[in-house]
Structures are given as structure tokens and as C-alpha cells.
Amino acid sequence: MKITKYLVGLALLSILLLTGCVRTVRQPLSVASRKQIKSDQAVLDTDQREINPTYNPEPYYGSVLANLVKVVINHYANKKVNKAITPIRSTLTNYDFSKMLYAQLNRKLTKVKWLKLNRTHMDYHLQGKQINKIIRSAKQNTTLLIYLSYDLTPSFQAFVAEADVSLYKKDKTAKKGFKTIYSNQFYYINTLPKKDHHLKQDAKIWTANDGRLIKSALNEAAASLANMLIKDIQNPNSKLYQSIAKKPIKFSKNNLGYQHGKVIAKRADRYLIRANTGAMYNVNRNTIH
């Protein structure tokens, strides 16, 4: 009975994850809202203490029994992935990506004078009520919340770092006591050369030479996420960024599908892309299809 309840719970959770809500598109910060900022606090939040793998689950459809079987299959596949990522985590011992991004944000956000930043801090695994309390109880009238995640995709083909950013302003007329005046998502993706990918082989690529490749990706991601945020939050135009390419580009976001967008800058083998949703991506050539 306990096993059945466990499997049913896993099946329902997996289905919910696969059919979850689509994230909101970019909401630009208007000039009028910018002028209403009196003082700001920046909060960096993450659920992670170390790099995580993402999984490639079997699709859920058909009978409940068939889906329960797939839950069991995915469970053992995920155990294999968790074992394979151990050497990468060992390589990154004492290598704190959250602190790296925090340092970049702390340095660069203070240069945006109109943001009037006077407090920055880090938190771990904030929940909805905690976030609401932080925003409402702050001495500052705006709160810039940055949620960070970073993962290796299935078979460890790509490293993906994401910063999900929202700027909230206190508002007594709003139901929660505050409203969103800016939001966007920022991604840094570094994909290995196209080939047949296997967990152990790709793990060795990331960890070779004392993890030079994965450490380089983490360093570049921290600087890139901060730079994209600084550039984007200062542009109030909802139709921003001129494309330098004649046609839209197709690229991999993660193992679940592709994104389309416009190339707005290129340097060496890296491309800065504005997706059709408004999200910003810094990807290498191997990520583009």
C-alpha cells in the first residue's frame, strides 16, 4: 500500500511538472515606474547548494498503470544520472556559483544610479509567504528578486544557468500590498559539440583539467547573467533590440524543446539572443540549430 501511494504521488508530481504553467514574457520597466523608485533592495534566492542534473522523463499518457510503470523507469534512470554527476560536484567543491553571481550583481547594480540600491542579501529556498513578507516589510519601496538555478541537461550535453528576475514596488491598492513593475528571464547556455552523448563521457569532458570547462562556464555565466539584467532593466522599450541577422534563429533551451529568437549581438562563438517571449539568452554556437 505504501509503495502504491508513493508511485501515485510520483506520477501526479511528474504530470504536474510536465504540464506546468508557461512563464510570463518580459514586462519592461517603464520610465514612469522608474521615477517612482525611492530606494531598492536586491535579493538573490536559490534552492541549490550545488549543481543539479535535469532529467529526460518518459512522456505520461495512457492508463494510470502505464504511467506508474514509467515513474519506476524514470526513478532508476534518475538514480543513474545522480551517480554520474558526483565527479562534477566533487570538482566544484568550495566553488559557490550563487556567491559568484551575487558579487557580480552587487558590483553592477550599484552603478545603475536611478535604482537607488541600498541593500543586497542572499536567501535560500524562499517560499511565497516569505517573499511577500520580505517585500512588504522592507524599508525600501522596491525589491529586486533574482531567483537562480543552474543545471546540466540530460546526458550532460549542456550547462544551463537561469536568472528569473522580478522588480516589485509597494502599492497599498494592490491585493498583496505590492505589484510587479518589471520581469524577465535570463539564460546562459554552454553546449558541448554535437555528437552521441553519454553520461560518463560527457562528465569526463566537464571535469577534465581540474574542471576547467565547467568552472569557466560558471564564471562566464555569472558575469553574463548580471550584464544581461543590467542592460535589459534599463531599456523601457517593449520592442527593444535590433537583430543583426536576417532571419530568426532556432536554439535549444533545454531537453524539452526549442526556442526561436533574434540574434542581437555576436562575439566569437557566442550569441546574444532575444527570444520571442522577450527572455534573453547568451548561448554558444553548439546550442544553435
**DSSP structure string for 250-268:** EEEEETTEEEEEEEEEEET
Q: What is the 3-state secondary structure (H, E, C) of 92-144?
A: CCCCCHHHHHHHHHHHHHCCCHHHCEEEEEEEECCCHHHHHHHHHHCCCCEEE
| Residue range(s) defining the domain that contains residue 275 | 22-58+83-287
Q: Quick one: which of 239, 172, 182, 186 has its CA closest to 30?
A: 182
**Looking at the domain assignment, is residue 211 inside a domain?**
yes
Grid cell, residue 108, equals 553592477
What are the pLDDT digits (tens) for 208-234? 999 999 999 999 999 999 999 999 999
Amino acid symbol at 4: T
11 located within any domain:
no
Q: To 5 degrees, how large is the angle CA 11–CA 56–CA 187?
A: 115
Is residue 12 included in any domain, yes or no?
A: no
The pLDDT value given to residue 29: 96
Quote the cell numbers at residue 29: 520597466
In the predicted structure, residue 37 carries a pLDDT above the cut 60: yes
pTM: 0.85
Distance between CA atoms of 122 and 152, rounded to whole angstroms?
23
pLDDT 10s digits, 24-34: 479 999 999 99
Q: Is residue 169 part of a domain?
A: yes
Q: Quick check: is 180 in a domain?
A: yes
The answer on pLDDT for 114 being more than 90 is yes
- 123: in domain: yes
Q: How many domains does the chain have?
A: 1
pLDDT at 237: 83
Give the model's pLDDT for residue 233. 96
Residue 73 lies in a domain: no
| 4 part of a folded domain | no
**Length in residues, the chain:** 289
